[in-house]
Structure 1
Amino acid sequence: MRPEEKAENCARYAERLARFGHDPRSLGWDKRQHRLRYAALLDYWPRERLSVLDVGCGFGDLAGFCAAGGRDIAYTGIDLSPELIATGSAAAPDRDLRVWDWDVEGAPGRFDLILASGLFHHRLEDSEGFIHRMLLRFRAAAAMGFAVNFMSTTAERRYPHLHYADPAAMLAQGLSLSRRVLLRHDYMPFEFTLIVDLRQEFAAASSAFAGFEALVDLPPSEE
């Protein structure tokens, strides 16, 4: 993301925040589907306590969604916008929210799970290059895996300021990073979520990833 694009991004959110305050509309979620998006990002992962990095976190509302659903996480949220981080921190002072530029400061640590909701929705001069670089960074900084969402090229109506990703192309990118990948295009007609699980060990006897071995009928032992 170019410096001018970062500045435009921050200015856009500051203007919305001045109009709407701590509200999903300040983040561009006019239809208030943010909780549906959070569920699509999270439902795949185990409910054990995980360290989670939320990239482009806005107000950090994903942490509140997890708490309301009884999901215990160690949450860190990062965003380019000082105004969004300040508003989120005022609402939840104990929440770990940081103004952070990954391009400049690098990864803020290593986490079990990295999530990004809406990070890739706005069109950039080189959206595809930005997505590719960020997915590589997520893989390097995540112990368990990561999940990200996109506007889909299946959308019948498109807006010039948004980036629409090809689901097949994004599935191919996911498979270049791990053999264990899920693409969810089942919860909205015009958006999808890519889930990349970096836990690639599997049982040789069943050729199944962990958690699926019990569903394989192994032949009886010859001993």
Structure 2
Amino acid sequence: MTQATVNADAIKNTDEQLRVRYSNRLHSFGYDPKTLGWDTAQHQNIRFNAISRALPKNKAFSLCDIGCGFGDLRTALVNAGFLLEYHGIDINADLIQEASQRHPDCDFSVRNILLDDDTATVADWVCALGVLNFRFTEFDNEVFARQFIRRAFALAKQGLVVDMLSSHICSTYPQEDFVYYYSPEKMLSFALELTPHVQLFHDCAPIPQQEFQLVLKHESEHAL
């Protein structure tokens, strides 16, 4: 069965809108979580801590961070004791320049995995945090999310971690019209089409909205 996909022109148009949005925020806020859409560094770190449970402990691995922003995830993981070779990619050249200056020992590049030659993005693990939150106007979020996850998982030798805002809305925070809320049940069902080795975490505290995290692995870590 043919999978629905978003055409390249629509992706390019949306990329340009997002580049302008985040370059303007960088100009306004500078090196600050607010530039990337976070209200506080504390909430940003909650998300970083959540990803750590999916990644290998006491074992070196390479990680490609899609939508890396300033590369702050790398700092958080290194401080937590992870042994990783970090590569960050983002569609915004201004953010990549800032990240490169702050992490001169890491590899950063401007690219979109759905448009560019992505051989450089292959890694043991791939993560995408907050990449799918924005409500797109030129195409359907559900179609794009599936296309993105399928491609990102193909680039991962071991596994993919991706998070999304949950359609199980947090009662203490108003629903916003510029973000998209995904059904965890539907996204879990889709992930199981790609691999039987899937975990869904819906237990993170709202930051400030309820999110869920999907972990897709090519192989099970637990032998029977």
- In structure 2, the partner of 1:44 is 54
1:152 aligns with 2:172: no
Shift of 1:50: 0.7
**Match of residue 212, structure 2, among 192, 197, 216:** 192
CA distance in 1, matches of 2:55, 2:96: 26
What residue identity is the alignment partner of 1:101?
N
RMSD: 1.4
CA contact (8 A) 2:113 2:151 kept: no
Deviation by residue 1:43-71 (Cα, 9 ceiling, x = unmatched):
12222111100001101111111111111
Deviation by residue 1:180-202 (Cα, 9 ceiling, x = unmatched):
111111012411111111114xx
Instruction: Give identity over the alignment, percent.
Output: 31
Runs of 4+ residues deviating >6 angstroms: none
CA distance in 1, matches of 2:19, 2:28: 14
What residue identity is the alignment partner of 2:217?
D
**Which has the higher relative contact order, 1 or 2, with Cα contacts under 8 A spaced 6 or more apart?**
2
1:136 aligns with 2:156: no
* Gaps in structure 1 of 5+ consecutive residues: 201-209, 214-223
What residue identity is the alignment partner of 1:166?
S
- In structure 2, the partner of 1:205 is none
1:111 aligns with 2:123: yes
Shift of 1:149: 0.4
CA distance in 1, matches of 2:106, 2:121: 16
CA contact (8 A) 2:114 2:151 kept: no
Per the normalisation by structure 1, the TM-score is 0.87
CA contact (8 A) 1:57 1:78 kept: yes
What residue identity is the alignment partner of 2:130?
G
Shift of 1:165: 0.5
Q: Which moved more, 1:136-145 or 1:49-58?
A: 136-145
CA distance in 1, matches of 2:11, 2:99: 26
CA contact (8 A) 1:41 1:195 kept: no
- In structure 2, the partner of 1:216 is none
**Match of residue 127, structure 1, among 129, 136, 141:** 141
* Gaps in structure 2 of 5+ consecutive residues: 1-9
Per the normalisation by structure 2, the TM-score is 0.86
What residue identity is the alignment partner of 2:81?
G
CA contact (8 A) 2:87 2:121 kept: no
Query: 1:1-223 maps to which residues of 2 (within 5 A)?
Result: 2-32=11-41, 33-47=43-57, 48-107=59-118, 108-124=120-136, 125-155=139-169, 156=171, 157-189=174-206, 190-200=210-220, 210-211=221-222, 213=224
- In structure 2, the partner of 1:219 is none
What residue identity is the alignment partner of 1:191?
E
- How many positions carry a matched residue from both structures? 204
